[in-house]
Structure 1
C-alpha cells in the first residue's frame, strides 16, 4: 500500500519498541503487535508507559507522529476556524496518513514474514488515526483501542464502500472517554456515538473526572478488553 513520493513517512529510528529491535522480526512471528499512536503535539514516549500495565504477550511499537506540531508531533494538520472557534481537519490528510501507517505495517509484515496479529491503541488524534486505519484495512487489525478520541466524518471517494467493509468485519473497538472531555467537540462526539456502533463491535466506556486524559480504571479495562479480543 504505497504512499505518494511527497507523503510524510514513519521515522523508523524514532519508533519505541518494547523489545530490542533486533528481536522484533523473530518475536512478531508468534506474538501480536500493539501499535501505539499518541495525541496531537505529543511524541512516541507519551503512551509507551502504558505498556507495563497491558498484557505481556504484546510486542509494543510506539510511533512518532508524521509531521511536527508545536514542541511535538501530529498525524495530520489541524487548522483553526475563526468562524466556528473550532479546530478543523481535512479528511484527505487523515486518509493519506492512514495509508502511510498501513504502508509501514506492510513493510514490517514483509520483514517478519507474516505478522501474528495487530492491535491499534490511540489517544485523541492517534485514536482518530486508528479508526481511519480500520476503515482502510479492517482485515489487518484484530482490535482497536481509542481513548479520549473520535471518528472523523469522511465523505471522500470510496468512503462509503470502505465503511461498509468495516461494518461487515465487525472489528472489536474499545472507546473510552470522559463524558465532559473539554477538548473533543460535542459535534465530533455525537458523530462518533452514531458511527462507531454501526461500524464495529463496540465496547464504549465512560470515565468521570478524567478530562482529556486516561485513568488507571480505564487502563485496567483496556487490559481486560485486550485479553478478551486479541489472539493471546
Structure 2
C-alpha cells in the first residue's frame, strides 16, 4: 500500500503565492467524509493576518460516504496509530514542500481533523505553534513528542457541544486528561450544540487565534 500524500492541487488558499511571504499560516483539517471546502467556509470569520490553507484528506471515505478521511472510522475514536501517522506525515511532507515557508504555523481541525491537529503537534512538536480542536479527540497511543509538549505546553483551544453524540465519553475523558497535561488549554463547552461548529464557537476560535498572533 502506497503512502498517502496531500493533493497540492486540491488545497484551497486564502492568498496567492505572491501574497504569502512573511505571513503566518493556518492549516484547516476537515472531518470524516468531508472535503477541503468545508472548513474553508469559516475563513471570513477568522483573523485576516494568517494565510489560510484548507487541505483535502488523502483517503477516500468508503461508500456510501461521498468525501475524504484522514483515517478509517471505528466508532470508538481509537484510530490505528500507523494509519493516522501516515496522514500526519503526509501533511508534514506537504508543508516541507511549500515554496513559501510561513513564519508561524497554526492548526485547526474538526472531528477527525481535530484528532489530526493534536497528532501533528505530537509528531512534530517544534513545527506547530498552536492548535484549535473542534469536536475532536486525542489518539490513545503515546508519541515521542508528548514529553516535549508536556514541558512546553503550547496553546490549544478545545471546543465541543453538550449534545455531541459522535465522540464517545471515554474519548472525551482521555482528551481532557491529555490536554491538561500537554497544553496550555483553553476552550468552551457549548450548550445545546451537537457535532458541529456554531457562531459562538467561530467567534471564540477567532479570538483565540488572534491572541496567538
Q: Structure 1-normalised TM-score? A: 0.86
Aligned Cα RMSD in Å?
1.5
Any gaps of 5 or more consecutive residues in structure 1? 81-85
Once residues 129 and 34 of structure 1 are traced to their aligned partners in structure 2, the CA distance between those partners, rounded to angstroms, is: 14
Residue 121 of structure 2 corresponds to which residue in structure 1? 134
Give the Cα–Cα distance (whole angstroms) in 2 for the partners of residues 131 and 87 of structure 1: 13
The alpha carbon displacement at 1:197 in A equals 1.1
* Equivalent of residue 145 in structure 2, options 162, 168, 186: 162
2:111 to 105, 113, 124: 124
Are 1:8 and 2:7 an aligned pair? no
Q: Runs of 5+ in structure 2 lacking a partner? A: none
Residue 101 of structure 1: aligned partner = 91
2:87 is equivalent to residue 92 of structure 1: no
Conserved in 1, the CA contact under 8 Å of 2:11 and 2:36? yes
- Post-superposition offset of 1:28: 2.8
Select which of 61, 67, 73 maps to 2:68: 73
- Are the counterparts in 1 of residues 163 and 194 from structure 2 also a CA contact under 8 Å? yes
> Which shifted more, 47-56 or 86-95?
86-95
* Conserved 8 A contact 1:149-1:184: yes
- Displacement after TM superposition at 1:152 (Å): 0.7
Cα distance in 2 for partners of 1:88, 1:143 equals: 23
Correspondences of 1:51-62 after superposition (within 5 Å): 51-62=43-54
Kindly tell me: are residues 133 and 88 of structure 1, through their superposed partners in 2, closer, same or farther at Cα, counting changes over 3 Å? Answer: closer
In 2: Cα distance, 1:89 partner to 1:128 partner: 9
Q: Distance in 2 between matches of 1:65 and 1:115?
A: 21
Superposed, 1:180-219 pairs within 5 Å as 180-219=163-202
Residue from 33, 37, 43 that aligns with 2:25: 33
Counterpart selection for 2:41 from 41, 44, 49: 49
TM-score (ref. length: structure 2): 0.94
Which has the higher Rg, Structure 1 or Structure 2? 1
